[in-house]
Structure 1
Amino acid sequence: MAPDLFPGFTRQYIKTPDEVSIFVRAKIDADKPPLLLLHGFPQTHVEFHPIIPSLLPHYSIVLMDLRGYGASSVVPSTNGSGYSKRLMAQDCVFVMAQLGYDKFTLVGHDRGARVAYRLAFDQPQKLVKVVVVDIIPTAAMYSRFGDTNAGLRAYHWLFLAQPEPFPETMIKGNDNGKMFLEHTLATWTRKRNLDDFSEAALDEYRDAYCSDERIHSTCEDYRAGAFLDRVYDEEELKLGKKIETPILAVWGSTGLFAEAMASKAEGPLEIWKAYARDVRGKGLECGHFVVEEDPEGLTDALLPFLLEK
């Protein structure tokens, strides 16, 4: 935990109906609407600390660690069965209901963004607006692995989804995953180093990731992407269903997805238009870890969208 990064925030664990303990930090103001922030791989809720000061004047803020990440429960799972984005989205709805919110705005980065758009498909009545940071939908991502550039940039999708215990064993190595974690964080940034991460955040990520059970749970998250989340997307497309909730897509110009789609005139936004009716987008001059690489640029993109009536 990094309490110094979130002064005035409460901490609690909320247990879902399927016995998953979700770690939640919140700062609630009865006069402000709720905003839920969801982190990505291989991070925790701590990734959002740079943008909290810009959001607090406008929102009651709720942060949670996704199941299998940070201080939330690791759940039994085979081939991703316990880590579908549908289940994670249900966790979000339950947590927010326990805090007194039936409807909320949601900002997600990476895996958290996949939870966000799945929730927009499954339970749109729960959402006011959605922001997805540096992703394209899961089915769209898998459809691009025939392209060498996309496959090399996002090699971890196929590696982490391999049957256990192969990726778990390889990641663990001699340092319990520290090298893999730091390599991932560094090489997905524009600078290709760790300069944009605070030491407090890096310590949190190391503590949260470098254990057998967390390495396994995050592999299960990616297995869920391959065998469950991808299928959900394909079913929506086959039915001609689109997300009705307004969506803002923000991406890093040197992030995992923008570079892989250099041939697309509108970049990731062009992909999102096949999945959502009301979508707009903006690229920022950074890599994948947009929240920590360019917090000012991100809030400048977020606030006009979020606060627009």
Structure 2
Amino acid sequence: MAPVISGFDYHRISVADGISLNVAVGGAGSPIVLLHGFPQTHLMWRHVATDLAADHTVICPDLRGYGASDKPAETDGTTYSKRTMAADIVALAGALGHDQFALAGHDRGALVAFRAGLDHPGAITQLACLDVLPTLDMWDAMHGVQASVAFHLYLMAQPPGLPEQLIAASPDAFFGYFLDLWTNDPSAIPADIRAAYLEASRAAVPSIVADYRASAGIDVQHDQVNLAAGNHLRMPVAVLQQDWGSALGFDGAALWRAWAPDLEHTLVTSGHFMAEEAPTDIAKALRHLLSR
């Protein structure tokens, strides 16, 4: 039996023409939506979600192109833009009866959350981004041999064809590499969860690549427009990061503060998959954000 978040109900909810998302919903109270990262599914939030569900309505979708959600073919370069994916999340929350909600994302999900905060400021009450930089800053920060740690960003930025072929030739080795490399505590991702991540990723190679390709194209353009216009995140923002900024030669807090005047930036002692490796700390940080 496939893993699920214990005590949560599962739904398929239409968010756009022909696009439905798989979503787990649990708890009661003010709503918070939790968005997963790469190469994961909504299951990465299983510990944090059950904690927060004690006094919040917790909504955990698989992003478009991931997990059990629909995976439309890329058509015009915008199918997997973070603007499109953010609109999915606002539509999802609305379909569940929430015109306003808190939003937290990890990795790819954090980029979707960031875009939702810029595009839909009236809908997002508080925003949390875990272990990522805004797309524009990410590309600017990567340089020299240090950028080799992010080789996958450059691989999946290439035109359609070769990246998909290379990854599909050995998907478990590709996706499993990141699950191993980015985890300080391997026991945080037990065998059944790891198997679920790999199975979901094998079925989603084209859409995952399209998501990353968008971050080397249309997502950069959207960030540049906001930056030129002086647009900022208007809501309280929490950023939780490993201390990889100093190792790679940039100040993560300063980069985020340029986008988020009401920012609390915290370094977390954890691997990249902090919601699984340090769920108590992450739940505590999200509760603090929800009180702001």
TM-score (norm 1): 0.90
Counterpart code for 2:212: Y
Matches within 5 A, 1:278-289: 278-289=262-273
Shift of 1:97: 0.7
| AA of the residue aligned to 1:190 | N
Question: Is the Cα contact below 8 Å between 1:26 and 1:61 reproduced in 2?
Answer: yes
- State how 1:292-303 maps to structure 2 within 5 Å: 292-303=276-287
Partner of 1:243, secondary structure, is: coil
C-alpha distance in 2 between matches for 1:38 and 1:157: 20
Counterpart of 1:186 (choices 168, 180, 184) is: 180
1:74 aligns with 2:71: yes
Q: How far does residue 145 in structure 1 lie from its aligned partner after superposition?
A: 2.5
Question: Per the alignment, in what secondary structure is the counterpart of residue 117 of structure 1?
Answer: helix
Looking at structure 2, the residues matched to 287 and 80 of structure 1 have their Cα atoms a distance apart, in angstroms, of 32
- Paired letter, 1:167: P
Give the SS at the match of 2:187.
coil
8 A contact 1:78–1:220 mirrored in 2: no
Which letter does structure 1 place at the counterpart of 2:149? R
CA drift of 1:258 comes to 5.5
Aligned residue type for 1:27: G
Match of 2:155 in 1: 159
Residue 142 of structure 1: how far off its partner (Å): 0.8
Q: Which runs of 5+ in 2 are unaligned?
A: none
Counterpart for residue 40 of structure 1: 37
- CA shift for structure 1 position 165: 1.4
In 2, distance between residues paired with 1:154 and 1:181?
14
Shift of 1:252: 1.8
Q: Is 1:275 the equivalent of 2:259? A: yes
Q: Hey, what's the Cα distance between the residues in 2 that align with 1:72 and 1:14?
A: 9
SS at match of 1:162: coil
Which of 251, 273, 293 is equivalent to 2:241? 251
Matching residue of 2:11: 12
| CA offsets 1:152-209 (integer angstroms, 9 cap, x no match) | 1211111111112111111122x4x001111011112235xx3321222112101101
Gaps of 5+ in 1: none
Instruction: Note if contact 1:2-1:46 (Cα within 8 Å) is conserved in structure 2.
Output: no
Number of residue pairs the alignment of both structures matches: 292
1:226 aligned residue: 216
Amino acid at match of 1:119: A
Give the deviation of 1:23 after TM superposition. 0.7
Residues 233 and 259 of structure 2 are in contact (CA less than 8 Å); yes or no, is this contact kept in structure 1?
yes
Counterpart of 1:203, as a letter, is A
Match of 2:248 among 250, 255, 260: 260
User: In 2 relative to 1, CA 247–179 (structure 1 residues): closer, same or farther, beyond 3 Å?
Assistant: same
CA shift, 1:79, in A, is 6.7
Written as runs of structure 1 = structure 2, the 5 A alignment for 1:232-247 is 232-247=222-237
> Aligned AA for 1:72?
S
Is 1:199 aligned to residue 191 of structure 2? yes
**Distance in 2 separating the partners of 1:239 and 1:248:** 23
Please state if 1:134 is matched with 2:118. no
One-letter amino acid of the counterpart of residue 227, structure 2: L
- How far apart, CA to CA, are the structure 1 residues paired with 2:65 and 2:155? 18
Aligned AA (1:12): H
Q: Take 2:50 and 2:9, find their aligned partners in 1: how far apart are those partners?
A: 16
Q: What CA distance in whole angstroms lies between the structure 2 residues aligned with 1:76 and 1:145?
A: 29
Q: Tell me the distance in 1 between the aligned counterparts of 2:246 and 2:36.
A: 19
Kept in 1, the 8 Å contact 2:27–2:53? The answer is no
Hey, what's the Cα distance between the residues in 2 that align with 1:127 and 1:159? 33
Checking the alignment, whether the CA contact within 8 Å between 1:153 and 1:260 is kept in structure 2 is: no
Within 2, Cα distance between the matches of 1:114 and 1:247?
Answer: 13
Code of the aligned partner of 1:242: H
Q: Is the 8 A contact 2:129 2:240 kept in 1?
A: yes
SS of corresponding position for 1:125: coil
The separation in 1 between residues aligned to 2:198 and 2:121, in whole angstroms, is: 35
Distance 1:258 1:216, change over 3 A: farther
**Other structure's SS at 1:87 match:** helix
Distance in 2 between residues matched to 1:43 and 1:17, nearest whole Å = 22
| Percentage identity across paired residues of the two chains | 33
Q: Matches of 1:14 and 1:147 in 2, distance apart?
A: 43
